[in-house]
Amino acid sequence: MPQLTWLVTGCSSGIGETFVQRILARGDKVVATTRGDVSRIAALADAGAKTYSLDVTATESEIKGIVAKILEGGPIDVIVNNAGYIEAGLAEETSYDHYQAQFATNFFGVVKTTQAVLPHFRENKSGTVVFIGSSGGIGGEPGAGPYCSTKFALEGFHDCMKQEVAHLNIKSVIFELGFFRTKIMHPDNVLKFRSEPIADYDGIRDLTSQFVDGINGNQPGDPKKAVEIMIDVVKGEGVAAGKEMPDRLPLGPDCLATMRKRCVGNLTTCNEWEDVIRSTNVEG
Ligand SMILES: NC(=O)c1ccc[n+]([C@@H]2O[C@H](COP(=O)([O-])OP(=O)(O)OC[C@H]3O[C@@H](n4cnc5c(N)ncnc54)[C@H](OP(=O)(O)O)[C@@H]3O)[C@@H](O)[C@H]2O)c1
């Protein structure tokens, strides 16, 4: 495959940083972005990445301006919508402001960045949009509602957009990650139960909190392995050679289990309730 140029959001750590390192190692070009000062990702610049400051919660016009500047340096072939964080909270307890903040980054940040890049892809009649989804976008877990809701929203955005841009030779794929060992669950990063507690949920809140603390640093997934597969899928190389790009790809055995449970559950409902489900059309 010819050399590609990638644009990656959220490159200060974890999956984003690993993407940049592996893209460069495989001989492609990359524009790495971070919120705040680009000195935060100086090591990636030293390794060969172009670096820009991009906070995905900036306004539409600010993000369009940054993308326009990036494009002055040359065309982009792939956008990786990676930036994100976790807001842990219970459905009833979590305040509207906290839901909004979580959506501002994980969903609307992705929408704004994708919309800023799509005109360029349309002009080139080529491009790939990568979404970093989650097992939390396939099945919800108690205490993870704000985060899971954003990742479910990404699934819908991707499903619709993919069909709208296909005739323009633009591809879209969502990778659904299980638990991967990054800083996402670190106490400095994960926002936990910030809203007014409701005593009826004390037990479930404590259990979730313990789970988050316990999984931090013990996630089974290796980010390098996931990133290598995601690059393979975009480039149609390695494990993806000769295969069609999938609509969505779960990564990690934990995510596979979540997807299987969801698929089997949906199929069981379809089969057991088929007569009822089919009974709702207007007569005649
Ligand atoms: N690791 C997992 O288990 C897992 C599982 C499923 C999905 N994911 C997804 O993978 C993506 C990357 O997460 P990670 O695991 O690599 O965690 P991470 O190490 O905490 O990295 C998250 C990155 O997103 C950046 N970010 C957060 N808010 C931003 C904003 N407003 N604008 C620009 N950048 C922002 C962070 O920058 P700062 O340094 O400025 O905060 C950081 O670079 C996320 O979308 C996450 O939901 C991860």
Atom 9 of ligand 1: nearest residue by CA position: 132
Domain ranges of the chain: 5-279
Distance from Cα 85 to the centre of ligand 1, integer Å: 5
CB 83 less than 6 A from any atom of ligand 1: yes
Pick the CATH number of 5-279 from 3.40.50.720, 3.30.1370.100, 1.10.260.40, 3.40.190.10: 3.40.50.720
Closest by CA position to 209, among listed 176, 187, 225? 187
CA of 183, closest atom in ligand 1: 19
Taking the centre of ligand 1 as the mean of its atom positions, its distance from the CA of residue 81, in whole angstroms, is: 10
Give me ligand 1 centre to Cα 178, in Å.
14
Using N-to-C axis directions, what is the helix angle for 108-124 and 96-106, rounded to 10°? 20
pLDDT score for 1:
77
* Nearest atom of ligand 1 to the alpha carbon of 12: 43
CA of 132 to the centre of ligand 1 (A): 9
How far, in Å, from the CA of 243 to the mean position of ligand 1? Answer: 29
Nearest alpha carbon, ligand 1 atom 20:
184
The helix/strand/coil state of 74 is coil
For ligand 1, say whether the CB of 120 is within 6 Å of any of its atoms.
no
Q: Which residue numbers in the chain have pLDDT < 70?
A: none
Atom number in ligand 1 closest to CA 181: 1
> Which distant-in-sequence residues (6+ apart) come within 8 Å of 44 by Cβ?
11, 17, 20, 21, 32, 51
**pLDDT at res. 284:** 87
Which pLDDT value is given to residue 127? 98
Select from 20, 82, 230 the residue to mutate for testing ligand 1; criterion: most ligand atoms less than 8 Å from CB.
82
Contact 174, 134 (CB under 8 A): no
